[in-house]
Chain A
Amino acid sequence: MADMNIQVTQHTVPKKKAGPWAQTWRRFSRDKAALVGAVLLGIVILLAVLAPFLPLDDPNAVNLAKRLQPPGTDGHLLGTDELGRDMLSRLIWGGRISVSIGFFAVGIAVVFGTILGLIAGYFQKFFDTVIMRFMDILMAFPYVLLAISIIAALGPGLINTMIAVSVVGIPYYARIVRGSTLTFREMEFVMAERAIGASHFHIIFWHILPNCLPPLIVAVSLDVGWMILAASGMSFLGLGAQPPLAEWGVMLSEGRKFIRMAPHVSLLPGLALFCVVLAMNLIGDGLRDALDPKTKV
């Protein structure tokens, strides 16, 4: 009897079809590797956010009597660096800076790249030629070289590194968004909006932009890791964040001088970097497969 009731209910109230985002989430959540990446990144972000509230030593507190202690030393789970600073504390505080740089840099690149791509793709002609030729010139440089060039001009420092890494990302997003905009501007729903007199601003931001989001989300998820790596690379070269700031690239660079005596000082920040980049790539691959299952090979 109970079974019959269920059957009746199923026939009379049709199940609501899941929306595209719900379908994407369902596909993403079935991808184990992507979930591992999400958990890994979640832990790093959680630790970074909670750093001020965790019972950690001051990341800049110098204690020369306890310098270069190996991991497992009493009171220093991951040992100490060349100035006796607690490695665990510096790693967690460093994560705040390194991960934030990656997200901020991608954010800046996405905003500018998207606006330029929308303008070029929607208005075409003069705007398209000027914007995209400039983007072509930026892309004529290898990424890292362009970032170094911009830092050379602005001067070494954390903020300048973030600007440099962002600028390098702009052409990439501009191209993606322009490509999508070129497709969607010719579609019926956009023509219908034009016919009823909708403004360009309304069409671009309310109708075209939401359709550009799937490829943009995939690009962002794959790019954050690269930007964290690039910014840390600049710090490693002495062009980004400067000592004594606890930033993973700086820590690696400083620790490199002691690889014979205390390899953990350079190995641990590198491992942290590797884990974050790995997590971002697993998430990115998962999102790409979830948003566009056709690309899966």
Chain B
Amino acid sequence: MVSYVGKRLLALIPVLIGVTILVFSIMHLSPGDPAQIILGPKATAESVKQLRHELGLDLPVYQQYFRWITNVLAGDWGRSIQMKMEVLPLVLDRFGATFILTLASALISIVGGVLFGIIAAAKKYSFWDRFLMFLVLVGFCMPVFWFGILLQIQFGLKLDWLPISGMHSPGKTGFVDMLPYLILPAVSLSAGTGAVIARMTRSSMLEVLGQDYIRTARAKGMKEQKVIYKHALKNAFIPILTVIGMQVGFLLAGAVLVEMVFSWPGIGTLMVKGIQARDFPLVQGIILFVATSYVVINLLVDLIYAYLDPRIKYK
């Protein structure tokens, strides 16, 4: 296991280098001079030239990259043009809200998706299978931002059960106060992901339920619930876990849209504001942070596979 973890960590290095090069390149393809944007339209040519020199923008591109990556590794992610603050603390501060939203959505979609998938597979081709798979199809095709609006109208405006925007009541903080604010965004974000997990769970469970050892377990007189949860689900879980790992990236990115609908003060709303204001250091920092988090999450999922199924590391 230790050598497997070591190999996977080593394999992470080129991917992370590639990600940093891509993030750096994307931002350097942008039209417009960052120095000019920082100083504004009234800046003199001399002051722009001075700032370009200070920021290292007059250096060759590869030197600019090494300078940027060295600073990033040292914790200096630049300064937001719009907010006049250091990027890293700003991103970390806002990432907390996105993390809570993503985690809550992941929990809802995993529990809901796996449960729907198991029921559909256990009762294959029945009314319940068709009904649940229809719900799953609806969830899969639902635009996440539209689903959010539907929930706002139904549960916020018509029934007045839950708040429709923000993260806390005015002047309050804490988890208990946040909970009602979290429900609608988390549910709307989890629909698509839950649908994918449910489809994969059903398909994987159907495959496992047709195996000989399941027939043997049933022939021994084992209770159906025990057959499904103890024998079938355990072996069906590897492909489900793969999908869950992939979906976490969708959740992180999809959070941008949900945050905009519910005015959730996360990293997504910050990024959209940054793009509209052409605040490149901020946007670059957010993209780097989210992409790195995604790569690390995928690594963790790979390690969980190896833990759950020891055959994987020998492949």
Contact = CB atoms under 8 A, between A and B. Distances in A.
A144 B256 contact: yes
Nearest to A236: B145
A152 interface: yes
B142 A274 contact: yes
Interface residues of A, number: 44
B104 interface: no
Nearest to B134: A33
A143 B253 contact: yes
Per DSSP, chain B at the interface is helix
B253 A138 contact: no
A229 interface: yes
A151 to B, nearest CB: 7
Per DSSP, chain A at the interface is helix
Chain B CB within 10 Å — which of A133, A140, A259, A266 has the most?
A140
Contact of B252 (A136, A145, A260): A145
A145 to B, nearest CB: 4
Given A260-B157, A270-B146, A277-B141, A153 B27 contact: yes
B294 A142 contact: yes
A148 B271 contact: yes
A229 B145 CA distance: 10
A145 B253 contact: yes
Nearest to A234: B257
A154 B31 CA distance: 7
B145 A152 contact: no
A144 B253 contact: yes
Interface string B249-282: 1101110110011000000000110111000100
Given A141-B19, A152-B275, A270 B287 contact: no
B203 interface: yes
B140 A143 contact: no
Interface in A40-96: none
B294 A141 contact: yes
A278 interface: yes
Contacts of B274: 152
B29 A142 contact: no
Contact of B143 (A238, A270, A281, A282): A270
B137 A259 contact: no
Contacts of A233: 143-145, 257
Given A155-B31, A225-B141, A270 B150 contact: yes
Interface residues of B, number: 51
Contacts of B141: 225, 274, 277-278, 281
A267 interface: yes
B26 interface: yes
Interface string B236-252: 00000000000001101
Contact of A236 (B22, B138, B206, B260): B260
B227 interface: no
Interface in A226-249: 229, 232-233, 236-239
Chain B CB within 10 Å — which of A134, A152, A256, A259 has the most?
A152
Contacts of A225: 141
Contacts of A136: 15, 18
A148 B275 contact: yes
A252 interface: yes
B153 interface: yes
B250 A153 contact: no
Contacts of B26: 149-150, 152-153
A156 B275 contact: yes
A44 B80 CA distance: 44
B91 to A, nearest CB: 14
A137 interface: yes
A142 B253 contact: yes
B257 A237 contact: yes
B128 to A, nearest CB: 16
Contact of B287 (A152, A236, A252, A281): A152
A263 interface: yes
A232 B157 CA distance: 25
A137 B24 CA distance: 13
Contacts of A151: 275
A136 B202 CA distance: 29
A18 interface: no
A150 B30 CA distance: 9
A22 interface: no
A68 B314 CA distance: 64
Contacts of B254: 144
25 contacts: A133-B18, A142-B250, A142-B253, A142-B290, A142-B291, A144-B254, A145-B249, A145-B256, A145-B294, A148-B253, A148-B256, A152-B274, A152-B283, A153-B27, A153-B30, A154-B31, A236-B260, A237-B272, A238-B276, A239-B276, A259-B153, A263-B153, A267-B153, A271-B146, A281-B140
Q: Which 6 A-B pairs have the closest CB atoms?
A: A270-B146, A144-B253, A137-B18, A142-B249, A142-B253, A278-B141
Given A233-B145, A260-B157, A263-B153, 4 more contacts: A136-B15, A138-B22, A141-B291, A148-B287
